[in-house]
Structure 1
Amino acid sequence: MTYQRPPQAIADLVNLKPDPLMLFGPDPDYIVIADRPMYPSIEELKEPKVKLAGRQINPDTFTPYGTRGFHNPRLRQLSTGTDRELQGLPEEGAYRYFTWSPDGTQIAFCLVTDHGLQLWTASRTSLQCRPVGEADINNSLGGVPYDFIGSDRFLIKRRISGATKPERTTSITGPAVQDSSGKEGANRTYTNLLENEYDVALFRYFATGQLWMHRLDTGEERAWAEPGIIAGLGDSPDGNYFVITYVQEPFSFNVPYDKFSDKVQLLDKEGYVVRELAQRPTVEHLPPAFGAVITEPRRFSWRSDHPAQLYWTEALDGGDPRTEVDHREQLYYLEAPFTGAPQPSIKLPLRFGALRWGRGDLAIAIDWDWTTRRQVTRRWYPDTPERTPEILFDHNWEDNYNDPGSVITVSLPSDHSVLLTRDEGQTLVMVGNGHSPDGPRPFIDALSLETGEKSRLWESSPPYFERPLFFVDQDPNYFLLAREQSNERPNFYLHHLLNGDEVRVTNFPHPYPQLQHTQYELVSYDRQDGVQLSGELHTPEGFRPGVDAPLPILMWAYPQEYKDADKAGQVTSSTHQFRRISPLSPLPFLAAGYAVFDDFAMPIVGEGDDEPNETFIEQVRMNAEAAVQKLVGMGVADPARVFVGGHSYGAFMTAHLLAHTELFAGGIARSGAFNRTLTPFGFQAEERTFWQVPETYVRLSPFVHADKIDSPLLLIHGADDSNSGTYPVQSKRMFAALDNLGKTARLCLLPYEDHGYAAEESILHMLWEMHSWMEQHSTGKPTDQASTTESLATLP
């Protein structure tokens, strides 16, 4: 079969020009702008790749597979409203990893070439660009492969000069053998792992790099630190010390590289070892519980308001959150010259989450607990760690209506972040979503450290939906504001917090004027047991519910687990928000005359000691029944033409709904998992293993219930899906079951595609499959078509 295209009205929504990259510099008057790439072609997805240690690497370029660049980079000056193009660049070049120097005088970025990444720089004044070395950067493990050290030097990760790619031997010297350790643990179902000694040699070749220190003024470059597989690097605020993490051998065949054994070292500014901080084993046998961690030192980070003070944490509960202890974490620190014993700092009762630095008497620590969904924000005193931290907020993260928001930070010239304060340091600034039964109204609050009282500094006001994105480092009275309406796409402004002055940054037009006047409504309703639900209803322009004939409708959802029924029904979307139409969403079908019920609530509640998955089937059925009843009662949905679909966990949900209800004319399941015995060490929010609750894993496998599926089911899957637990075999085996049971089903395997689909041909064909499937099965009558056995796995 060849690639197909959906009706033109749907196809027109695929290749809309995306918003450009915008990168603010230290001077808020200047922004780097670059055009985002459109969808790649299927030919681009056919680029070579090797699958090693949980990564997909392009062997020709030493970059992550699928690396694509931005185009047409330019500098925008807000005060004049002018754009200037960067000079001296290759025609039609593609670029990634744009960065400003700390003083805002230089712009750095990588040119994407057929042989790899090449670092370039440009002066902000002249915009004349020049390369920094050859296209020999090693970016195999991802991340930004260079860093400004001050404003006059770079550290660049390059390939090992003269290294030879290992050759695959044709002779067989023996079997591949693995021994168990005798230790209990629970690893999720990882993909693209190392399988043999050739894979080991290949990963070593592609992942090993050498750091080079490059001077901008002279162009001089010298090797810095030892070569190795570098998994992390961070400099102290004074620039005199670095923490570096090296992955070590032997490598594991059971987990991806970020769980391999490693060593953490402290280096001086010349790249020499000052102190070894940790030697950590491969992480293969953590306790089988959310929040389980290693017992060795972890989460190394520099204190932002100190020249060179290094922090980390260690578990006090053996890394097992099931252990009853008064404190789970102990923070330690060392400071220059790093010769003494580690000093204890504060202890945390819950699992360590994050640190936010301010000054000697002000820092924020966040700790959390999975079982209770609890997150605690504490004020503490770094210079007097014996002082008991004070709780600022103790919050259940499922409770959106009472979310206090998050503290705001700004960057220092050292490129380290500190808390944004006002009133001579006595007031913190917080940003939150402002969720309520009427929808979210994002806000900025001031929190008094003396009284603990909050006051509102700014709030989004209808008919607009506005979001503060970040505060300007050099003038934190200004913040970047995104403003939108239901029929007006987001545009960006620099907004003054105190006097309301604004500078408009963008002026994007409506991206799809042909759908500008489609109708949107946030629909609320209750399910059978009283849990409040809602969903986003979209109908074609001019449609009148209860007057016009009901429409075919596509319902799209993704299940979410909760521990509290009241919180499961909270509203988190606004009728004032712009509805962006992604081709991977269900919204393109508005152009074909369908109604769409998007993101309709699919909570799975397990209160107290009850696990949500014990009643997953019953709850998804109640959710769907309540939604369909509401839509039919409104006169929106034709009950004979109601379709349901979802991606990933939503596909899993879809198969269950077809097996356990008779509500739907058909279903669409994209990139799903249907046999839970293939993910035996947990999935989604399920902590228990198959061997603890085998009956739950079996009952929750739609594959087991395939004989109950009587409505037509379309299965779509990326042929190279690397997502944990959703191997393409999941859809293949589900289709084989349906086919042999005489059910109506179709399997579409999209060549070269991963868990999400990227190529223009794939996306257009996916939309054609979905539209054709719904049109074919919209009669409401049993289909005469036999189960189709056509698979698209043989597409070129």
Structure 2
Amino acid sequence: MVRKTAFLLSLLASGAAWAADPAPAYHRAPDAIARILDAAPTPSVAVSPDHATLAILGRENLPSIANLAKPILRLAGYRIDPATNGPAEVRVQWLNALSFKNIASGRTARVTLPAGTRFTSPDWSPDGRHLAFVVQESDGLALWIAGRDGTARRLVRGLNAAFGSSFAWTPDSASIVARLVPADRGARPAAIDTPTGPVVQESMGRTSAARTYEDLLKNAADEALFDYYFTGVLGRIDIASGTLQPLAAKGMWRSFAVSPDGRYLLTERLKRPYSYLLPAGFFPTEVAVQPMAGGAGGRVIVDRPLADDLPVDFDAVVKGPREVEWRSDAPATLLWAEALDDGDPKANVPFHDRLVTQAAPFDAAPVELAKTVKRYAGTLWGDDGFAMIVDREWRTRTERRYAVAPSQPGTVRLVATRNYQDQYGDPGMPMVEENAAGKPVMRFTPDRKAVFVTGDGATKEGAFPFLARMPVAGGEQTRLWTARAPYYESVVSLLDDSGRRILTRRESAKLAPNYVIRSVRGGGAKPITDFADPAPTFANVTQRTITYNRADGLPLSGTLYLPAGYDAKRDGPLPTLLWAYPSEYTDAKVAGQTVDQGNRFTRPRGISHLFLLTQGYAVLDDPAMPIIGEGAAEANDTYIKQLREDAEAAVEAVVKLGVADRDRIAVGGHSYGAFMTANLLAHTDLFRAGIARSGAYNRTLTPFGFQAEQRTYWQATPTYTEMSPFTYANKIKEPILLIHGAADDNSGTFPIQSERMYAALKGNGATVRYVVLPNEPHGYRALESTGETLWQMTDWLDRYVKPARPVK
């Protein structure tokens, strides 16, 4: 008995010791990487509507894991912070400093904010005199405004930003409409510890397919929380006095917009019944318009039911009015689209959508403005004589642009038809800037016979952004200015009505992006900002675009990076990482386009694979991995074959250049790139190891479509099966590193994808490591998680790729 007792005590002691072992700690990234991660990010900039002032916005560095670990709620596709009634930490890029710089004089006024202030959503008033922004407080969100003189003050507490954007300026810049937490909201619904019954869903023979979504409502308790946190009231706050005028009682106000004349409010309100299979955007929705001053004159535009019967095709839409918006250039006129095909893009009809307008007081019948051949994609407003409508078709990647005269409904002229993936043939888009009412409109030339156009100017030699004028009546564009090598210089805004002086954002391979003023007629450029290189360690990294051909002759390209100080003759071939992401095309000519990246400023941030350059690796970044389906052919039916040929061509290219050791090449990717990585390890013997982050590996878990695949599992079972690397887990013999965020919020890449892939690989004897990052979404945010990811990637490649293979 004594011996038995002693044995039990020893077990308890050893168990206690085991339980006291510390949990695994986060690894720190290698020093060269960690120093860059600790550096403050480059500020962002917002130009005032009158083009007189730059708001310079200091950005927070990576958040801590402690911030990401704060309690959040995942409801109906949203992630919110219950402490503030706003977006969860992972959904916000917080700002921490604000200053105003006069563009003409260069004078800067710094805004003094309370120590530790974090804010987001900066928005200029239409007159450019104030900037409004949302400040995080300990128990909620507050609306602040700052003047160009550097003064700042709080307007109101208790913003409800659960749906996202929580305020909008009125056109006169005198007030702000905001969504607020109801003053009488009361206590949060109590948690239900013991279920009161089962959760029951049923479908009575009605087709109701849905893609996979994250963060859905699961039960009645979730519905109660959704009601509690997302219900708000709408009010108008006078910025001079701070007085609040109620506009709309409690409701699920998903969005709202003030008319250009300030007299009406357009609202979108969600209603029950909710869904456990779809996010909030599909819930029953009422779109209505009401007078800002109250009283009669309101109208419901559409009151649509739960949208759970849509086809799975990408261009499928709801029946009835949708995408309701204000016409930006008119006092109070609504525009909306209506499907002419019952929302089914496969329907054989001459026109798939029609656009209608309705002017205040909204008691006359809507007027048909135009019909579109394919699915309506948006409108650029100008004036009574000119607006531009765009439609698109996903299946063919076709875009059409139409010129319309709003004052003459039905007057439609086709401006252009193009493949929207075509970089060389991109004519650019009309410049859109806010008008006096704060609404986006096209920028006309002084004679109003043309609009200004900007574009990327992509060619084989590089991208050279441009400014042009496009005649309203039709005809060829006239180039006014084009960026020149060695710069990539994009047009930010026009500084005069004629477009002779412009504000640009200029960068080169060696110069960090900064803002300059220049004349389109030539001459020097006047610097406005002087942001420093955030990672000077990378200044001597070699970057070049390489071109090569696939076995079938298709031209491909990628950007090759070599470590600072590398000399091919002296140092010989390097261990190399190919980091890629496949893309689907319908035209081989478009898929084979190459745009040299030599005039772009590249510095890694976050979990970038380019950090491996500091560890002695060459990196072939974004080597083209086109998957082409021309005509009636479906691209994914030959996915594996094309992917293999793409990878073979990339490997041959870097080996032929003498910079890569054929025996020491790894492949990696994030999301669909992780899916690619697992497939290449299963179906080729090109790579020594792989890194797959936040991927999906079993397509039977996404049965109603994924990525660019519109067919369901039951329509294309062989394709789903053959594309799934899970099916071929027994063929993956090279080491593979799996990393996944435990709170992945991306549709289709549920963490279970990596969990089950790891089990399959482990069960088949593979060399595999599976890293789960707590609290992280699809793209990892916390400083600790970032360091861990980069440590894991470095360690994996140092173990399995960098060393020379033993001689057999």
Q: 1:493 to 1:200 in 2, by over 3 A?
A: same
C-alpha separation between the residues in 2 aligned to 1:130 and 1:266? Answer: 32
- CA positional deviation for 1:31: 1.9
3-state SS in 1 of match to 2:797: helix
Cα pair 1:374 1:397 within 8 Å, conserved = yes
Alpha-carbon distance between aligned partners in 2 of 1:96 and 1:548, rounded to the nearest angstrom: 47
1:40-59 pair list within 5 angstroms: 40-59=63-82
Name which of structure 1's ranges 242-251 and 177-186 shifts more when overlaid on structure 2. Answer: 177-186
**SS at structure 2 position matched to 1:32:** strand
Counterparts of 1:705-716 in structure 2, within 5 Å, are: 705-716=728-739
- Please give the alpha-carbon distance, in whole angstroms, between the structure 1 residues aligned to 2:725 and 2:73: 32
Residues 74 and 85, structure 1, Cα contact 8 Å, conserved in 2: yes
User: What CA distance in whole angstroms lies between the structure 2 residues aligned with 1:39 and 1:782?
Assistant: 41
Partner in structure 2 of residue 212 of structure 1 = 235
Corresponding letter in the other structure for 1:698: T
Deviations 1:166-193 (CA, angstroms, capped at 9, x unpaired): 1123343221111115332432110110
Q: Is the CA contact 1:86–1:128 (under 8 Å) kept in the aligned structure 2?
A: yes
The 2-side partners of 1:297 and 1:174 are apart by 38
SS in 2 for 1:651: helix
SS for the counterpart of 1:510 is: coil
1:142 aligns with 2:167: no
Q: Residue 370 of structure 1 corresponds to which residue in structure 2?
A: 394
Write the mapping of 1:379-394 to structure 2, written as runs, cut at 5 A.
Answer: 379-387=403-411, 389-394=412-417
Matched with 2:334 is 310
Alpha-carbon distance between aligned partners in 1 of 2:461 and 2:93, rounded to the nearest angstrom: 41
Which residue among 120, 135, 142 is the counterpart of 1:111? 135
Does residue 34 (structure 1) correspond to residue 34 (structure 2)? The answer is: no
Structure 1 contact 26–474 (Cα < 8 Å) conserved: no
Kindly tell me: are residues 338 and 6 of structure 1, through their superposed partners in 2, closer, same or farther at Cα, counting changes over 3 Å? closer
Amino acid at match of 1:712: P
Of 77, 81, 91, which aligns to 2:115?
91
Of 100, 103, 106, 1:78 maps to 103
Structure 1 residue 147, shift from structure 2 partner: 3.2
Q: Which range moved further: 759-768 or 280-289?
A: 280-289
How big is each residue's C-alpha offset from its partner over 1:335-375, in whole Å with a ceiling of 9 and x where there is no partner? 12211222222111111111111121211111122222111
Distance 1:286-1:248 versus aligned 2 partners, 3 A rule: same
Find the counterpart in structure 2 of residue 548 from structure 1: 571
Letter in structure 1 aligned against 2:769: R
The aligned counterpart of 2:661 is 638
SS at match of 1:365: strand
State the distance in 2 between where 1:34 and 1:723 align: 28
Amino acid at match of 1:210: V
Do the aligned partners of 2:74 and 2:216 also contact (CA within 8 Å) in 1? Answer: yes
Question: Residue type matched to 2:389 in 1?
Answer: A
Partner secondary structure for residue 349 of structure 2: coil
Q: Secondary structure at the match of 1:730?
A: helix
Partner of 2:317: 293
- Work out whether 1:445 is the aligned partner of 2:463: no
Q: CA deviation at 1:783?
A: 13
Find the counterpart in structure 1 of residue 556 from structure 2.
533
Q: Distance in 1 between matches of 2:558 and 2:146?
A: 48
Task: List gaps (5 residues or longer) in structure 1.
Answer: 785-796
Distance across 2 between alignment mates of 1:18 and 1:552: 30
Q: Which stretch shifts more, 505-514 or 526-535?
A: 505-514
Partner Cα separation in structure 2 for residue 34 and residue 712 of structure 1: 43
Distance in 1 of aligned mates of 2:100 and 2:151: 12
Letter in 2 for 1:143: S
CA distance in 2, matches of 1:755, 1:146: 30
Q: Hey, what's the Cα distance between the residues in 2 that align with 1:64 and 1:763? A: 21
Give 1:788's aligned residue: none
C-alpha separation in 2, matches of 1:780 and 1:281: 63
Q: CA deviation at 1:146?
A: 4.5
With 368-377 and 26-35 compared, the bigger mean Cα shift is at 26-35
User: Would you say the 8 A contact 1:555–1:644 is kept in 2?
Assistant: yes
C-alpha distance in 1, partners of 2:516/2:461?
25
In 1: Cα distance, 2:617 partner to 2:793 partner = 12
Tell me the secondary structure at the aligned position of residue 14 of structure 1.
Answer: helix
Task: Tell which deviates more after alignment, 27-36 or 248-257.
Answer: 27-36
**Structure 2 gap segments, 5+ residues each:** 1-23
Is 2:168–2:258's contact at 8 Å kept on the other side of the alignment? no
Residue type at the aligned position of 2:715: Q
Structure 1 position 332 matched with structure 2 position 356: yes
8 Å Cα contact 1:69/1:112 also seen in 2:
no
Shift of 1:526: 0.3
Poorly superposed stretches of 4+, deviation over 6 Å:
none
In 1: Cα distance, 2:737 partner to 2:584 partner? 26
Residues 578, 106 of structure 1: CA spacing in aligned structure 2 closer, same or farther, 3 A cutoff? Answer: closer
The question of whether the paired residues in 2 share the 8 Å contact of 1:412 and 1:473 is answered with no
Aligned CA distance change for structure 1 residues 300 and 498 (closer, same or farther; 3 Å): farther
TM-score (norm 2): 0.94
Mapped contact 1:393–1:404 kept (Cα < 8 A)? no
Secondary structure of 2:679's aligned partner = helix
> AA paired with 2:97?
N
Deviation string, structure 1 residues 512-538 (Cα, Å, up to 9, x no partner): 222211111100000111111000001
1:31–1:75 Cα contact (<8 Å) kept: yes
Matches within 5 A, 1:609-648: 609-648=632-671
Q: Name the amino acid aligned to 2:399.
A: Q
Code of the residue aligned with 1:79 in structure 2: it is A
Residue 257 of structure 2 is matched in structure 1 by: 234
The SS at the match of 1:653 is: helix
Take 2:784 and 2:807, find their aligned partners in 1: how far apart are those partners?
29
Secondary structure of residue in 2 paired with 1:13: helix
- Counterpart-to-counterpart distance in 2, 1:680 and 1:104: 50
Secondary structure at 1:444's aligned position in 2?
strand
Measured in 2, the distance between the counterparts of 1:299 and 1:366 equals 13
CA contact (8 A) 2:445 2:497 kept: no
C-alpha contact 1:363 1:379 (8 A) present in aligned 2? yes
For the 8 Å contact 2:579–2:667, the answer to whether it is kept is yes
Note if 1:5 corresponds to 2:28. yes
Q: In angstroms, what is the RMSD of aligned CA positions?
A: 1.9
Q: Deviations over 1:132-168 (max 9, x none)?
A: 233x111111124343452211212110112221112
**Residue 156 of structure 1: aligned partner:** 178
Which residue of structure 1 aligns with residue 43 of structure 2? 20
Partner of 1:132, secondary structure, is: strand
Contact 1:651 1:669 in 2 (8 A): yes
Aligned equivalents of 2:164 and 2:239: distance in 1?
A: 24
TM-score by length of 1: 0.95
Could you tell me which amino acid in structure 2 is paired with residue 162 of structure 1?
D
Amino acid of the residue matched to residue 486 of structure 1?
A
2:58 aligned partner, one-letter code:
D
Which moved further from structure 2: 51-60 or 484-493? 484-493
Q: Give the distance between the partners of 1:598 and 1:144, measured in 2 at CA.
A: 38
**More deviation, 17-26/628-637:** 17-26
Q: Displacement of 1:114 after TM fit?
A: 1.4
CA contact (8 A) 2:431 2:454 kept: yes
Per-residue CA deviations over 1:588-610 (Å, capped at 9, x if unaligned) read 11111111100111111111111
Deviations 1:102-144 (A, max 9, x none): 222223222211111111223334x33222233x111111124
Residues in 2 aligned to 1:581 and 1:209: alpha-carbon distance in whole angstroms: 40
Equivalent residues in 2 for 1:707-786, closer than 5 Å: 707-778=730-801, 779=803, 781=805
Measure how far apart 1:474 and its partner are. Answer: 7.2
Residues 251-270 of structure 1, C-alpha deviation per residue, up to 9 Å, x if partnerless? 11111011111101111012
| 1:278 lines up with 2:310 in the alignment | no
Instruction: Number of aligned residue pairs: give it.
Output: 780
Which residues in structure 2 correspond to 1:661-680 (within 5 Å)?
661-680=684-703
- Stretch of structure 1 that moved more, 62-71 or 400-409: 62-71
Q: Report what 1:320 is aligned to.
A: 344
Match runs of 1:372-451 below 5 Å:
372-387=396-411, 389-422=412-445, 424-450=447-473
CA distance in 2, matches of 1:511, 1:129: 29
Whether 1:488 aligns to 2:511 is yes
* Identity of matched residues, %: 39
SS of equivalent residue, structure 1 residue 205: helix
Paired with 1:81 and 1:147, the residues of 2 have a C-alpha distance of 27
